[in-house]
Chains A and B, each alone.
Chain A
Amino acid sequence: MSDYQEIINRYKDMRGGIIQAYHAVQDHYGYIPEEAVTAAAKAFKMPKAQAYGVATFYSYFKVGKRGRNVIRICESAPCHVAGADELVKTLEKELGIKMGETTVDGRFTLEFTECVGQCQSTPVITINGKPYANVTADNVAAILAEYR
């Protein structure tokens, strides 16, 4: 049995358990494999469209492969005025990918996020959920080095 099938089975008798199942699948893979959505639809007895709808509604779920380290750039208003656009350019250049893409070595993925509640020291990025504040073109390379 595939890993995701085993994970989904753990939640299949729980009411509304599909969300917990997706969380657990994502914890395991770092994302939700396409086939896991089909498996979830079956396990929770709903049309695939509905299972796909749940998986794609929440920005924290990602259907389809992504890198081991997920970098999310906050683009809400306070980070926006603090220069999030510049940070996007810097990170795209540093990693050689565009927003939404994954590096060829599978190490980094670039995504946007809305406010993560650290507006006291903008601009902010998160890497695998850990926030980094006051990120600038000058210190971003040092932050990335922790994950290279």
Chain B
Amino acid sequence: MAQEMRIVLRNYGKIDPLKIEDLGSGAVFVLDETRDIVDVVTRIAKFFEHESCGKCTPCREGTKRMHELMKKIRNGLATEADLALISSLGNNMKKICLCGLGQAAPIPVLTTIEHFKNDYITKLPA
């Protein structure tokens, strides 16, 4: 079951236009508890796999493996070890991907594992 997720809304209007790369997309996506967060994050992982430009390996390979692991979790085929693996992969990508896309790609995975851990645990086979 979902607990909470904190969102900081910045005043985007006041951001220096030269620093537009700090902006992110500014999107807020609201889901109620009837939604399957693991399924939604799997879809977001697919988005990043598609958007990766392929220039650097941690993102090109990482987004693909991340999507694979998310599908495995969503389909109820993953183990605790897969959860540890996807977290470690995500933390590495945050540090070593070349540009902001690859660095941001693991954030939905990592933050939902942090804040909605139970939703992931219940997907593990009994």
Contact = CB atoms under 8 A, between A and B. Distances in A.
Interface of A: 57, 59, 75-78, 80-81, 114, 119
B121 interface: no
A114 B29 contact: no
Contacts, number: 20
Given A81-B31, A81-B35, A75 B43 contact: yes
B50 A80 contact: no
Contacts of A80: 40, 43
Contacts of B47: 76-77, 114
B29 A77 contact: yes
Q: Is the interface of A mostly helix, strand, loop or mixed?
A: helix
B51 A114 contact: yes
Interface of B: 27, 29, 31, 35, 40, 43-44, 47, 50-51, 53
B interface, over-half SS = helix
Nearest to B27: A119
B67 to A, nearest CB: 13
Closest 9 CB pairs of A and B: A80-B43, A77-B43, A77-B44, A77-B40, A81-B35, A76-B47, A114-B47, A78-B29, A81-B40
A59 B44 CA distance: 17
B51 A76 contact: no
Contacts of A76: 43, 47
13 contacts: A57-B53, A75-B43, A76-B43, A76-B47, A77-B43, A77-B44, A78-B29, A80-B43, A81-B35, A81-B40, A114-B47, A114-B50, A114-B51
A76 B108 CA distance: 14
Contacts of B53: 57
Contacts of B43: 75-77, 80
A49 to B, nearest CB: 14
